[in-house]
Amino acid sequence: MEKTQLEYRGEILYSFQIDNNINKYKLYIERVKGLALYDVIIIGGGPAGLTAAIYACRAGWKTLLIERGAFGGQAASTDLIENYPGFPEGISGPELMLNFYNQAVHFGCNFLTAEVNVLQSTNLTGKIKNVETNVGTVQGKTIILATGAQPRELGVKGEKEFRGRGVSYCATCDGFFFRNKKVAVIGGGDAAVKEALFLANIAREVVIIHRRDTFRADKVLGNKALAAPNIKVYWDTVVKEIAGERKISSLILHNVKTLATISEEVEGVFMYVGTQPNTAFLADHNSKNEQGYLLTDENLQLSITGVFAIGDCRRKKTRQVATAVGDGASVLAAVDEYLHSL
């Protein structure tokens, strides 16, 4: 379909469908007048947020999804997703997330590319909730937080110095630059092992460095990595330093059991040592645990009535695309009940 767009103060509001231009134009007029009021405002455009948008729009609620960057979240930068139902051969993350986005567009969701400012409890406690962004304020009857999480930094010497010059947090984004080179992957969870397998098809050799003596990743993934001819694993090992001058030349590794320290030559380092939630913008500390993850009840609602949290930003045991989608679908039952009670 022909891509159409409407620009206001440097911000492009666009739709893949011509018949949705009216909705986009209405959003533009309302924002100029400061009258924009939505039934549902979703903050975050990853799998959870896009799913919630689809369900909210299909239920007939006027919905706005706010995203500060690219739609799809971390899933959009994953080369191959094999554990999402319905795709026997797997599907690329970008393709899957584009399908999510197009489906939300199809059902009439409004989109706004903006950065949300600090959300104060006083702006969220009433029946009309205010969300301040860097392009203006919008109002909603309910708020769904779907801001996800981001990669955690390792915090060792050389990490910041070489970030973007050999240190990466996304193999599918940067793996191409290390074709036929030797790289390291730090971590032993699902994300680390998946990306190590991806890099094994590009790099000459992949070194996995894990602080434990077994993978935390899914057993099938772990076995694939151990069977790969160009993947080597250092168990019980941590990185002490990323060394080099203009570019990375080696890692200083320390074995936590033998206490031995060695140098391993590599040209690139990919970090997968956990995530941290994108919840700093929410000022209500009563809604977070010590790690910053949002605390919800069985209806996915925070302690603030009418404010919900879904996906990787909330406290939960499993963080996968499928579980994020489950949150996005489940939350609408409580949202719908709340809206009907107003």
Question: What fold does the segment set 153-273 form as a domain?
Answer: FAD/NAD(P)-binding domain (3.50.50)
Give the tokens for residue 101. 């986005």
Alpha helices in the chain (DSSP H): 21-33, 47-58, 93-106, 171-174, 190-200, 219-227, 321-341
Q: Catalytic residue among 39, 174, 312, 336, which?
A: 174
What is the pLDDT at residue 22? Answer: 41
Residue 211 sits at φ, ψ, to 5 deg, of -75, -10
Give the tokens for residue 341. 């009670």
194-222, pLDDT tens digit by residue? 999 999 999 999 999 999 999 999 999 99
Q: What spatial distance separates the first Cα and last Cα of the chain, rounded to whole Å?
A: 39
pLDDT(133) > 60: yes
Residues 6+ positions from 180 with CB-CB distance below 8 Å? 202, 203, 204
CB 155 within 8 A of CB 241: no
Alpha helices in 215-258 (DSSP H): 219-227
What is the pLDDT at residue 121? Answer: 85
Domain 4-150+276-341: CATH superfamily, name plus number: FAD/NAD(P)-binding domain (3.50.50.60)
Active site residue 57: no
Give the tokens for residue 277. 């939630």
Over pLDDT 70: what percentage of the chain? Answer: 89
127: phi > 0 → left, psi -120 to 50 → alpha, else beta; which?
alpha
What is the pLDDT at residue 19? Answer: 39
Active site residue 174: yes
Active site residue 173: yes
Task: Give residue limits of the domains in the chain.
Answer: 4-150+276-341, 153-273
pTM of the model: 0.72
